[in-house]
Amino acid sequence: MIITCPNCNKRFKIGNSLIPDEGRDLQCGSCNHIWFYKIDDLNNKLLKLDEEIASEEIEITAKKKEEKIEQKKQPLEKIKSEINNELKKKKLEKQKNITTSDNTPNKVSKFFSYLIVFIISCIALIILLDTLKTPLINVFPELEIILFSLFETLQDVKLFIIDLI
């Protein structure tokens, strides 16, 4: 039960069992005012409403609110489903474009990357052999003929490429 101090209008929550039917003195915890409080018969009686009217009104308003909510949900659900469908279509189109466009350039670019790495490696090997030609011939005397043939072949390839251009 909620009791209000008559002096400062401060409200307090007090259990019903703490106040007997004859009443008792209470002291405000805020302003220290002391007053006698007795539970009135009006407070003890439960207010009776016409349950049928109240329940019917509540049911009618609840049904109206549910109908309004359903009416609002239906267009929202349709819009959400349409948006989801469009997003799914866009994702599928992107995936198709990515798979079709990425496969061919990716394979071609990989091939050219490997080709460039192979050519650079061969050129590096030739430069290394040319630089270390004399020490290699001293260690392996039979290598002189092979290296000579290799460099003559490279000179022929070079002249052939120059003639093409």
Write out pLDDT tens, residues 85-127: 888 888 888 777 765 554 556 788 889 999 999 999 999 998 9
User: Where residue 162 falls among pLDDT bands split at 50, 70, 90?
Assistant: very high
Strand partners of residue 27: 34
CB 9 within 8 A of CB 20: no
CB 64 within 8 A of CB 58: no
The residues spanned by each domain of the chain are: 2-44
Count, residues in the chain: 165
Structure confidence at residue 120 (pLDDT) = 95
Question: Tell me, what amino acid is at 17?
Answer: S
Closest CA to 65 of 77, 57, 75, 53: 57
Structure confidence at residue 119 (pLDDT) = 93
Structure confidence at residue 55 (pLDDT) = 63
Rounded-to-integer distance, Cα 159 and Cα 146, Å: 20
Is 0.85 surpassed by the pTM of this model? no
Structure confidence at residue 16 (pLDDT) = 80
Rounded-to-integer distance, Cα 8 and Cα 22, Å: 24
**Of all helices (H) and strands (E), which one includes residue 34?**
strand 34-37
Write out pLDDT tens, residues 5-62: 999 888 888 888 888 888 888 899 888 899 888 887 544 444 454 445 556 667 777 7
Rounded-to-integer distance, Cα 25 and Cα 19, Å: 9
CB 129 within 8 A of CB 136: yes
Tell me which residue has tokens 């092979």: 146
Three-state DSSP state, 26: strand
Structure confidence at residue 138 (pLDDT) = 92
Rounded-to-integer distance, Cα 110 and Cα 104, Å: 10
Structure confidence at residue 100 (pLDDT) = 57
